[in-house]
Amino acid sequence: MRIIQGPQRDDLAPCPYLPQQRKQYEFFFAHSIDGRELSELLATGWRKFGLYYFRPACPGCRRCIPLRVRTQEFCLSRSQRRIAKKNSELRVVFGPLRFSERVFEIYLEHSRVRFSLDVDREDFICNFFLPSCPSLQAEYFLGEELVAVGFLDRGKDCLSSVYFCFDPRYSKLNLGTYSVLREIDCARSRGLPYYYLGYFVPECGRMAYKDHFRPREHFDWEEGGWEGI
């Protein structure tokens, strides 16, 4: 691991998940992180975009809970089986990071329609196409059309979901849930025991879907270890 800058803490700012709360991250910038080092960081609550590694350091609040799924034990629920069947015609390709105009177009429309955000092309490239650790890209095709894309990191014992976006015209396909199912399956097929889902905030409605992949483990910030459900 080569640290470029940090670690340090950013300024307090409005929380994107909980009203009336303030958020703060501790962070550092690094590259040349190998799979073993990435697994160690993920196992202690860190996440990343590009060269930027971060975890919550909010005063008086630990409600951002890291989640990971035990891939070899994972079983689809009834609703997840329905979603998998609904998307049976999709073709999913896991491979190296590969920028294209279509990928950026999907990210642009997804950000605009789902979150009312304007996005910057240069920021997009820096966040997803400047890999600081072993990384993968998942592309979802309906016929010959690319309709969704996911970005993942690979540790020694895990896959970690970084970001997933889809063409809003296909929102009825429940592609967010379907992508998690395919990524868990990808991790399992590679013999990786864990799949990291990122942070889960129980009071945040748009994160509720993350609680539906079982069995899973959550990180206890106070104890510094993982507990199973």
- Is it the case that residue 86 has pLDDT exceeding 90? yes
pLDDT digits (tens, 9 = 90+) for 102-154: 999 999 999 999 889 889 999 999 999 999 999 999 999 999 999 999 999 99
As a whole-number percent, the residues of the chain with pLDDT over 70 amount to 100
Mean pLDDT, residues 65-78: 97
List Cβ neighbours of 118 (8 Å cut-off, separation of 6 or more).
111, 112
As a whole-number percent, the residues of the chain with pLDDT over 90 amount to 91
pLDDT class of 80 with cuts at 50, 70, 90: very high
Predicted local confidence at residue 187, as pLDDT: 98
Predicted local confidence at residue 33, as pLDDT: 97
Question: DSSP letter at 144?
Answer: T
Predicted local confidence at residue 1, as pLDDT: 85
Predicted local confidence at residue 20, as pLDDT: 86
Q: Which helix (H) or strand (E) holds 112?
A: helix 101-115
Look up the pTM and report it: 0.95
Rounded to the nearest 10 degrees, how much is the dihedral formed by the CA atoms of 229, 38, 108, 129? -160
Predicted local confidence at residue 206, as pLDDT: 85
Predicted local confidence at residue 38, as pLDDT: 98
Amino acid at 221: W
Predicted local confidence at residue 229, as pLDDT: 83
Q: Give the chain's radius of gyration (CA, Å).
A: 17
Instruction: Output the six-digit token pair for 150.
Output: 């996911």
- Is it the case that residue 37 has pLDDT exceeding 90? yes
Predicted local confidence at residue 5, as pLDDT: 86
Residues of the chain with CATH 3.40.630.30: 67-228
Q: For residues 144 and 164, what is the distance between their CA atoms, to the nearest angstrom? A: 19
Helix/strand/coil for 228: strand
Mean pLDDT, residues 36-54: 97
Predicted local confidence at residue 12, as pLDDT: 95
pLDDT digits (tens, 9 = 90+) for 191-224: 999 999 999 999 998 899 999 999 999 999 999 9
Q: How many residues does the chain have?
A: 229
Predicted local confidence at residue 94, as pLDDT: 98
The secondary structure of 49-107 as a DSSP string is ETTEEEEE--TT----EEEEEETTT----HHHHHHHHHTTT-EEEEES----HHHHHHH
User: Is-contact 219 228, C-beta < 8 A?
Assistant: no
Mean pLDDT of the chain: 96
Task: Identify the CATH number of the domain defined by range 67-228.
Answer: 3.40.630.30
Predicted local confidence at residue 6, as pLDDT: 81
